[in-house]
Chains A and B, each alone.
Chain A
Amino acid sequence: MQRMMNSVGNKMETKGLNLYYKNFQALFNVSLPVREHRVTALIGPSGCGKSTFLRTLNRMNDVIEGTRIEGEVLLDGNNIYAPGVDPVALRKKVGMVFQRPNPFPMSIFDNIAYGPRIHGIKNKETLAEIVEKSLQAAALWDEVKDRLHKSALGLSGGQQQRLVLARVLAVEPEVILMDEPASALDPISTAKLEDLIHQLKNNYTIVIVTHNMQQAARISDYTGFFLNGEMIEYDYTNNIFTAPRDKRTEDYITGRFG
């Protein structure tokens, strides 16, 4: 029945997820599906655990000392926290764009080629093709094609954010996680990024954290609302914004708190 209503399958899914930073519990029993080739938005007030949740999807919390996790995170039906799963291989499939743009202190070219290089591509022409294709896909090619070998740190904030997106695309992940990718961008760069997300949906599954309600409404198909480490409500974005079932969701989206 459920399956017929949603013709799309789950690319990822969390089941009963609890996460602790040492003794502090940051996530409480979070269960949330991530539909394939759709954009899922995560909204909620600051400190409610959106970034934490996002990092569980590619095991970036492993990098933070003292984190402990309970429950399951499935990617294509397999638990990514099962013993024997290699987080390095997982992160190749589940890429991430961080809240603050973080290009490496290298040339634009080397930034994009970094991923393919570490995954074993050495051929110069292949790398050049990947770099161009990724920059095209991130709508940055025209702006940087004449300065590919200049430092990426010389780009503007908006360009840097598209650069790190291109860097993720170059690895050809299946899922892209974005943590408030537009928070440091001006309205024009933000609009460009949103256009981009629309196009990327065809080839990728996207999860995006945002503080901007209009943005969530514009770009996402599904929305999850988080509060104090709990997932309060998950539904079609349309339903969340027009007919939320939970009082707290309604309060949040109408700006009564948060």
Chain B
Amino acid sequence: MNWKFFCDRAGRGLTLFCAALVIVLTVSIIYFISSKGLATFFTNGISLREFLLSDQWAPDRAAVDGGPLVGAKAFIAGSVLVSLLAVGVSAPLGIIVAVFIVEIAPGWGQRVLQPAVELLAGIPSVVYGYIGLSLLVPLIRTYLGGGGFSLLAGFLVLSVMILPTIISVSTDSIRALPVEWKHASYALGSTRWQTIRMVLVPAARSGLITAVVLGMARAFGEALAVQMVIGNTREIPTSILSPMMTLTSAITMDMGATVMGTTWNNALWSMGLLLLLMSLCFILIIRVVVRRGAVQ
């Protein structure tokens, strides 16, 4: 009896402790990134406008020459472009594959396709980058011209990487639909294709949007693989074949070269803060979408 009581108390204590630990960790990480990231504007006197809207990046230029310049526009544009294009490829592809797995070939889809997707999700990003580097980049160089390191290579690698996320979340949301809707649709004389297009996909809408946003978030935050294939030039890409840079790759490229407390270093933290805010946005979007779906 006493022992049971003790276990109960100890269990509750342990869960409380873990929960508190997670909260403390999250808050302190956010605090750290924010204090560093905001220092660019409050301590180093860079305007938010310059950071967001200028593409002049010369963080080591001396003050007498008008420096340091920390305009991150090229990286922001790079991140947004590469992620949007990746989602543009993966969202339709992933949703179609999900429909295929659940509705068209449930036997084969679940035995072969689903494990394949899970495997795809488990491959480390450096391997994706390596494949992109040794296969995709030379292919692009040979057949499409340019150096091969490009926006195109970046978003293709990314789209493969986010595909498993989109497929598995979409699959779950389609599978969760009540079978009654499908039967009702068939009983009214619809074909399978009409049922999928007009009943199942719209009914799974909030889950599918969540899948796409999660894929977008993953694309936005991915650093390593993208960095290996995009060429990392500090300019806004002008074509799909031009080299470019993203926020994440800008941080990894520069972080070893800077000293804590300098404008340069703080500007990198500002980019980190920006990434944090973006993922916050994605989370909020998903919340709203899911709540809307639930109300329906």
Q: Taking beta carbons and an 8 Å cutoff, which residues of A are in contact with B? A: 58, 60, 63, 88-92, 95-96, 98, 100, 102-106, 114-115, 117-119, 151, 153, 164, 167-168, 171
Question: B188 to A168, Cβ gap below 8 A?
Answer: yes
CA distance A92 to B198 in the complex (A): 17
Question: A118 to B296, Cβ gap below 8 A?
Answer: no
**B residues within 8 A CB of A91?**
186-189
CA distance A166 to B296 in the complex (A): 21
CA distance A88 to B195 in the complex (A): 12
Question: A105 to B187, Cβ gap below 8 A?
Answer: no
Q: Tell me the smallest distance from the CB of B3 to a CB of chain A, in Å.
A: 48
- Of chain A, the residue at the smallest CB distance from B180 is A102
CA distance A103 to B184 in the complex (A): 8
**B residues within 8 A CB of A95?**
187-188
Q: Tell me the smallest distance from the CB of B207 to a CB of chain A, in Å.
A: 12
**B residues within 8 A CB of A63?**
182-183, 186
8 residue pairs A–B, Cβ–Cβ below 8 Å: A91-B187, A91-B189, A98-B184, A102-B180, A104-B184, A114-B185, A118-B189, A118-B198
B145 at the interface (CB under 8 A from A): no
**A residues within 8 A CB of B190?**
88, 118
Q: Tell me the smallest distance from the CB of B180 to a CB of chain A, in Å.
A: 4
Most buried by A among B183, B187, B194, B199: B187
CA distance A117 to B198 in the complex (A): 10
Chain B: interface secondary structure?
A: helix
Q: Which of B181, B183, B198 has a CB less than 8 Å from the CB of A60?
A: B183
**A residues within 8 A CB of B66?**
none
CA distance A68 to B194 in the complex (A): 25
**B residues within 8 A CB of A104?**
181, 184-185, 199, 203
Q: Taking beta carbons and an 8 Å cutoff, which residues of B are in contact with A? A: 178, 180-191, 194, 198-199, 202-203, 296
- Of chain B, the residue at the smallest CB distance from A117 is B198
Q: Which of A88, A98, A114 has a CB less than 8 Å from the CB of B198?
A: A114
Q: Tell me the smallest distance from the CB of A131 to a CB of chain B, in Å.
A: 14
Question: A114 to B188, Cβ gap below 8 A?
Answer: yes
CA distance A167 to B181 in the complex (A): 13
**A residues within 8 A CB of B188?**
91-92, 95, 114-115, 118, 167-168, 171
CA distance A153 to B181 in the complex (A): 12
CA distance A104 to B184 in the complex (A): 8
Q: Tell me the smallest distance from the CB of A171 to a CB of chain B, in Å.
A: 6
CA distance A88 to B188 in the complex (A): 8
CA distance A151 to B180 in the complex (A): 17
**B residues within 8 A CB of A60?**
183, 186-187
Question: B199 to A102, Cβ gap below 8 A?
Answer: no
CA distance A231 to B46 in the complex (A): 86
CA distance A171 to B198 in the complex (A): 16
CA distance A98 to B202 in the complex (A): 22
Q: Which of B181, B187, B194, B203 has a CB less than 8 Å from the CB of A96?
A: B187
**A residues within 8 A CB of B202?**
105-106
CA distance A58 to B194 in the complex (A): 18
CA distance A171 to B180 in the complex (A): 18
Q: Tell me the smallest distance from the CB of B229 to a CB of chain A, in Å.
A: 42
CA distance A168 to B296 in the complex (A): 23
**A residues within 8 A CB of B189?**
88-92, 115, 118-119, 171
**A residues within 8 A CB of B198?**
114, 117-118
- Of chain B, the residue at the smallest CB distance from A119 is B189
Question: B296 to A98, Cβ gap below 8 A?
Answer: no
CA distance A143 to B198 in the complex (A): 26
Question: A164 to B184, Cβ gap below 8 A?
Answer: yes
Most buried by A among B189, B191, B296: B189
Q: Tell me the smallest distance from the CB of A244 to a CB of chain B, in Å.
A: 32
**Contacts A88-B191, A118-B198, A151-B296; A102 near B186 (Cβ below 8 A):** no
**B residues within 8 A CB of A102?**
178, 180-181, 183-184
- Of chain A, the residue at the smallest CB distance from B186 is A63
- Of chain A, the residue at the smallest CB distance from B293 is A105
Question: B296 to A58, Cβ gap below 8 A?
Answer: no
**A residues within 8 A CB of B182?**
63
Which 10 pairs from chain A and chain B are nearest by CB?
A: A92-B189, A102-B180, A96-B187, A91-B189, A115-B188, A102-B184, A118-B190, A118-B194, A105-B203, A88-B189
CA distance A88 to B192 in the complex (A): 9
- Of chain B, the residue at the smallest CB distance from A114 is B188
**A residues within 8 A CB of B186?**
60, 63, 91
- Of chain A, the residue at the smallest CB distance from B199 is A104
CA distance A66 to B186 in the complex (A): 18
CA distance A167 to B180 in the complex (A): 14
- Of chain A, the residue at the smallest CB distance from B204 is A105
Q: Which of B180, B185, B194, B203 has a CB less than 8 Å from the CB of A100?
A: B180
